[in-house]
Amino acid sequence: MDIYLVEALLNGLLLGGVLALLALGLNLIFGVIDVVWIAYAELVMCGMYVVYWLYGYYHWPLALAAVLAVLGVAFLGLLVHQLIIAPILGSPAINQLLATGGLLFFLQSFATLLFGTDFRNIGLRLPILEFADMSISFARLIAFGVAVLGAGALYAFLSKSFLGTAIRAIGQDREIVGLMGVDQRRIYLITSAIGGALAGLAACLLVLQYDVHPFIGLSFGPITFMICVLGGLGNMIGGFAAAFIMSEIISIGGFYFSQEIGEVLAFVVFIALIFVRPQGIFGRS
Amino acid sequence: MLEIDNLSAAYGSFQALFGVTLRVDAGEAVGVIGPNGAGKTTLMRVISGLLPGRAGKLTFEGRSLDRVPAYRVVARGIAHVPENRRLFPKLTVEENLRIGAYMPQARKHFAERLGWVYELFPRLAERRSQLAGTMSGGEQQMCAIARALMSKPKLLLLDEPSAGLAPLVVQQVFDLVRKIRSEGFTVLIVEQNVQQLLELIDRAYLLEVGRIRLSGMAAELKANPFVRQAYLGL
């Protein structure tokens, strides 16, 4: 097999890690609270700015900047729920979509107002790894490793802890969890914070590879939504798998044609699959 | 232990309970019987805090349960096994039991309680990693009762535990309830299966269209001509 095709496959796999992390966050929030955060990728943008300013501009240690970005976006997630979602929780889904859609434009415009439209780079040059004639971006490798660790930690939390079990239970029966002593509002807040933290973690990984600007969310948002729908909305394992399918399509398409065509291909495959299986490839009808 | 005084409750504009007065003392097993739509489930939902809008007095161990949300009622020591079991179908048996011990004071004793519940219901130990939704009705009822016991309640509310089960399984469920009784739990139980229920409990109330029509010791109700005719088919 062509060594460059192997390289493309490997890069696709590495790209998939971060996308999977974003899909997990979005699916978690949808599965628990039954809302879609249209502005999810814009939370990632906010996190990228945190790392940029703290590390790239003020030269704080990278690890500290990363931790603060994760915590900061987790808090932002909490605010999104408390200020935007909670007051309209009982209203039709379209209202919630419009409200978080409004947040998307607000965050984009606010970032533009504060920071302008410059593309900002944190100025960290990570090496390119060369082996067997393939070159693999170290930044991507780190991103993949951390994303998989993050997903694993989330899995362990959801399957082993009392809180995690309650988070999984609440989408199955919202009324009865109360009889178990579970305060629904508190679970929603915690879930929103976890969703935010995942976006913050993704931000730390993406800022190693991409410049941050107010519209960077558009590069990840639509693909993340496609992944979630493809995997079956709310289905975390389906979304995780779909992230790798999409990233491989982009990467292999990019190898044979160009990056743009790769993304076009991903959308085409998405549309075709949704015609065949509207509930997503891993969703139940 | 549980005192209900002149309680009324409504779903929106539909009033389901009219001035219900009822008492459960510690150590007792009390039944509420009555036809479909009499308000039995509503009564249970009001006690456990699932149905907030109401008038009248509701106290447990001398403290009011007014405006106490469901998730706090269970911390007071009332566990509710809801109608139709309502397990979390996509969680395993053991995960359902874990949720039952969600409260901080129950979490600390989780391992010990789990062992006790498995001893009480060995079938659940065999099924611990099976998804709750894939079990038979009787096993699900067993799991629902076990889930409620995980919080070590002082009062157990059982809402139609035998509903929708095959006759043989109904018998098993009543045996389960008898087992719970012998463990010393105070039980308030709603049932349509009047004959078997009256064998099991100390006292009973007859609820009809939202009002208490009769009350008394199980033996008195069993001998009551109206109950015999309308509910025992004798």
Q: For every residue of A8-59, which 3-state class applies, written as one string?
A: HHHHHHHHHHHHHHHHHHHHHHHHHHCCCCCCHHHHHHHHHHHHHHHHHHCC
Average pLDDT over residues B13-40: 92
What pLDDT score was predicted for residue B110? 95
Report the residue of chain A nearest B74, measured CA to CA: A181
* Cβ–Cβ < 8 Å for B179, B120: yes
Interface test with B, best of A32, A160, A180 (most B CBs within 10 A): A180
Residue B33 pLDDT > 90, yes or no? yes
Q: Give strand pairing partners of A44.
A: none
**Contact: A165, B82; criterion CB under 8 Å:** no
A131-155: burial string, b at 16+ Cβ within 10 Å, e else: eeeeebbebbbbbbebbbebbeebe
Q: How far is CA B100 from the centre of its chain?
A: 15
In this predicted structure, the answer to whether residue B190 has a pLDDT above a threshold of 60 is yes
CA A139/CA A92 separation, integer angstroms: 42
The residue with greater pLDDT, B53 or A64, is: A64
Check whether A283 has a pLDDT greater than 80. Answer: no
Whether residue B183 has pLDDT greater than 70: yes
**pLDDT for the residue A136:** 84
The shortest C-alpha distance from A170 to chain B (Å) reads 9
pLDDT of residue B66: 87
What is the number of H-type helices and E-type strands within chain A?
11, 2
Query: Nearest 5°: phi and psi at B186?
Result: -85, 135
CA dihedral B20, B23, B24, B30 (to 10 degrees): -50
pLDDT (0 to 100) of residue B31: 95
pLDDT value at residue A261? 92
Q: How far is A240 from chain B (nearest CA, A)?
A: 19
Contact B226/A at CB under 8 A: no
Q: Choose between A8 and A72: higher pLDDT.
A: A72
pLDDT at B35 over 90: no
Q: Does A284 touch chain B (CB under 8 A)?
A: no
Q: Given this model, what pLDDT does residue A131 score? A: 79
Average of pLDDT values for B158-186? 90
Work out the average pLDDT over A132-139: 82
Query: Residue B230 corresponds to which tokens in the numbers above?
Result: 């309308």
- Give the mean model confidence (pLDDT) for residues A264-270: 92
Q: Is some CB atom of chain A closer than 8 A to the CB atom of B106? A: yes
- Region A116-145: mean pLDDT is 87
| pLDDT at residue A284 in the model | 64
| pLDDT at residue number B36 | 86
The per-residue pLDDT for range A38-50, each reduced to its tens digit, is 999 999 999 999 9
Chain A residue with minimum CA distance to B71: A181
The mean pLDDT value for B76-100 works out to: 95
Average pLDDT over residues A270-283: 85
- Can you tell me which residue has the tokens 């995960």? B95
* Residue in B142, B162, B154 with CA at minimum distance from that of residue B105: B154
Given a cut of 60, whether residue A172 has pLDDT beyond it is yes
Average pLDDT over residues B18-22: 93
The ipTM value here is: 0.90
Q: Cβ separation of B99 and A178 shorter than 8 Å?
A: no
Chain B, residues 16-55, CB within 8 A of chain A, namely: 48-50
- Tell me the C-alpha to C-alpha distance, in Å, between residue A2 and each of A8, A9, A255: 10, 11, 11
**Count of CB atoms within 10 A of residue B109's CB?**
14
pLDDT, chain B, mean: 92
Given a cut of 80, whether residue A126 has pLDDT beyond it is: yes
pLDDT one-digit tens code per residue, A195-236: 999 999 999 999 999 999 999 999 999 999 999 999 988 888
- pLDDT above 90 as % of chain B: 73
High-pLDDT (> 70) share of chain A, %: 99
CA atoms of A209 and A138, how far apart (whole Å): 10
Given this model, what pLDDT does residue B81 score?
A: 96
Q: Which of A65-74, A117-126, A201-210 has the lowest mean pLDDT?
A: A117-126
What is the pLDDT confidence band of residue B159, given thresholds at 50, 70 and 90? very high
